[in-house]
Amino acid sequence: MTELIKPLFDAVAFAQALRQRLADRADLPGYRDAAAEAGVSAATFSRAANADATLSHENFLRLSAWLAAASGGKAAA
């Protein structure tokens, strides 16, 4: 019997974290402003917030850093 391998990246959880951070930031009215702050395009932010797992490594790192900044953390470079 073959066991299923758990994915390393949970696109749904990542999307939820992005949407929650955006909701917590009243000064960012939408995806465009959040994307600009994170250093990605609005389309990339939208795809990530909708659990599209096809992010490039660079965009994943940029969005991860944006999320980490909310808690005073630092994302790996």
| Residue pLDDT, tens place only, 28-77 | 889 999 999 999 999 999 999 999 989 999 999 999 999 999 877 655 44
Domain boundaries, the chain: 11-70
CB neighbour list of residue 48: distance below 8 Å, 6 or more residues apart: 14, 15, 18, 40, 55, 59, 63
Q: How confident is the model at residue 24 (pLDDT cuts 50, 70, 90)?
A: very high
**In the structure encoding, which two tokens stand for residue 61, read together?**
């790192």
